[in-house]
C-alpha cells in the first residue's frame, strides 16, 4: 500500500515537472512568435506616431526650419480626434513645405494604401504622397492624393502604391503644403492589402 502511495506521489511530481517544462517551452515560443509577428504583421497601420499622440514629431522629419513666416507644430486645440494633430503654416506663396516618415520595413508584393484626415484654412494646395526609392536613392515612382484648396473641414484623402518593383528599397510618406495657408493632419494610416483587393480601406470615423 505504501509502495502504491509512493508511486502515485512520484507520478504526480513527474507530471507536475512535465507541465512546468512545457509551460516554460511554450512561453519562450510565444515570445518568439510575438517577435516574429511584430516583424511581419502587416495587417495593421505600419506608420509610427501616425496620429501624433506622442505630442511631438517622433518618427517624422520636418523638411524645413521653422521661421516666423512658416512653421510646423503639434496642435492640441485643432484635431480630428485624440489629443493632437500636426500643423503646417506658411505665409509665403511660393514655398512648398512638408514633413515625412521613411519606411524601409514594408511588405513586398502588396498594395499600400495611405489614408489621412486633413483640415485646411486658405491654402493654395495640400495633399498626401508616397515616394518610392531604390537602394541608390533613385526615385522610382510617386503617388499623390487628390488636392485640397482653400478652406475645408476635416477631409479624407487617400492614395496608394504597389510594392512589386524588386529595386524598391524604401518609401517616404509625405504631408505637403504648397503656398500660403494652414493645414492640419491627423489619423494618418498606411495599410497593406493584397494586390487583387481593389477597394480602399476606408476611414469611417
Q: What is the pTM of this model?
A: 0.76
Q: In whole angstroms, give the CA distance from residue 130 to residue 109.
A: 16
Residues in the chain: 205
Tell me the Cα Rg of the chain.
Answer: 25
What is the Cα 109 distance to its own chain's centre? Answer: 18
In a 10 Å sphere around its CB, with 0-12 CB exposed, 13-18 middle and 19+ buried, how is residue 159 labelled? buried
Which residues fall within 8 angstroms of residue 137, CB to CB, at 6 or more apart?
Answer: none
Instruction: Give, for all 205 residues of the chain, the pLDDT tens digit.
Output: 555 655 565 656 666 665 655 555 555 544 443 434 344 444 689 999 999 999 999 999 998 888 999 999 999 999 999 999 999 999 999 999 999 999 999 999 999 999 999 999 999 999 999 999 999 999 999 999 999 999 999 999 999 999 999 999 999 999 999 999 999 999 999 999 998 755 444 444 4
Residue in this structure with the C-alpha cell 503617388, named with its chain if needed? 143
Amino acid at each position: 500500500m505504501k509502495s502504491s502511495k509512493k508511486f502515485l506521489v512520484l507520478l504526480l511530481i513527474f507530471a507536475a515537472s512535465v507541465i512546468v517544462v512545457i509551460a516554460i517551452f511554450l512561453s519562450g515560443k510565444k515570445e518568439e512568435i510575438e517577435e516574429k509577428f511584430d516583424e511581419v504583421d502587416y495587417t495593421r497601420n505600419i506608420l509610427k506616431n501616425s496620429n501624433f499622440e506622442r505630442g511631438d514629431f517622433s518618427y517624422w522629419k520636418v523638411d524645413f526650419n521653422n521661421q516666423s513666416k512658416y512653421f510646423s507644430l503639434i496642435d492640441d486645440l485643432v484635431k480630428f480626434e485624440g489629443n493632437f494633430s500636426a500643423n503646417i503654416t506658411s505665409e509665403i506663396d511660393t514655398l512648398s513645405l512638408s514633413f515625412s516618415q521613411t519606411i524601409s520595413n514594408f511588405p513586398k508584393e502588396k498594395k499600400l494604401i495611405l489614408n489621412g484626415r486633413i483640415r485646411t484654412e486658405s491654402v493654395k494646395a495640400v495633399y498626401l504622397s508616397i515616394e518610392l526609392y531604390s537602394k541608390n536613392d533613385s526615385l522610382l515612382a510617386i503617388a499623390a492624393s487628390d488636392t485640397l484648396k482653400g478652406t475645408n473641414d476635416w477631409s479624407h484623402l487617400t492614395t496608394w502604391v504597389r510594392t512589386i518593383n524588386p529595386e524598391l528599397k524604401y518609401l517616404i510618406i509625405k504631408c505637403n503644403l504648397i503656398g500660403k495657408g494652414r493645414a492640419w493632419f491627423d489619423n494618418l494610416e498606411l495599410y497593406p492589402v493584397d494586390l487583387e483587393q481593389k477597394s480602399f480601406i476606408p476611414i469611417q470615423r
